[in-house]
Amino acid sequence: MITKNKMNGAERIAAEIKRQIEKEGWDAEYDDEQEDGQLASAAACYALQNYKSYFQISCYDNYFIDLYDILWPWDEEYWKPTHVKIRNLEKAVALISAEIDRLLRLETKGGKKWNTSGLE
């Protein structure tokens, strides 16, 4: 068994996808219900969490609002960033992977056609 600190990025992401499915219960059926960009939006939150200067926007008179407050699609209890940058990115990419898989399933079921070739 490979220890986590010996894993490359792709292995870490695969492990996070497996964890989200097996430990959190976020399976394809659940993902298919996320039709309004929730998975991509949550991924953006985790990816940007590491870079606070990009994660906050100035509203007025030195008042800042976190993009999290705007972008996070679910209840606050599900927001679980860590102080470990790589861990947040693992979560972000796993969520993006789930969104890609959701779109591919939708296309297979006769839904909207996406450019899946990656050439455009």
| pLDDT > 80? residue 45 | yes
- pLDDT averaged over the chain? 87
Share of the chain above pLDDT 90, in %: 64
120 domain residue, yes or no: no
| pLDDT > 80? residue 18 | yes
Q: How many helices (H) and strands (E) does the chain have?
A: 6, 2
| pLDDT > 60? residue 21 | yes
Give pLDDT, residue 120.
44
Give pLDDT, residue 3.
73
2 domain residue, yes or no: no
117 domain residue, yes or no: no
| Domains held by the chain: number | 1
Which residues have C-beta within 8 Å of that of residue 77, sequence separation ≥ 6?
none
The domain of 86 spans 7-108
Summarised one tens digit per residue, pLDDT across range 59-105 is 666 667 777 888 999 999 999 999 999 999 999 999 999 999 999 99
SS (H, E, C) 61-82: CCEEEEHHHHHCCCCHHHCCCC
Place 110 in a pLDDT band, splitting at 50, 70 and 90. confident
84 domain residue, yes or no: yes
On whether the CB atoms of residues 50 and 92 are closer than 8 A, the answer is no
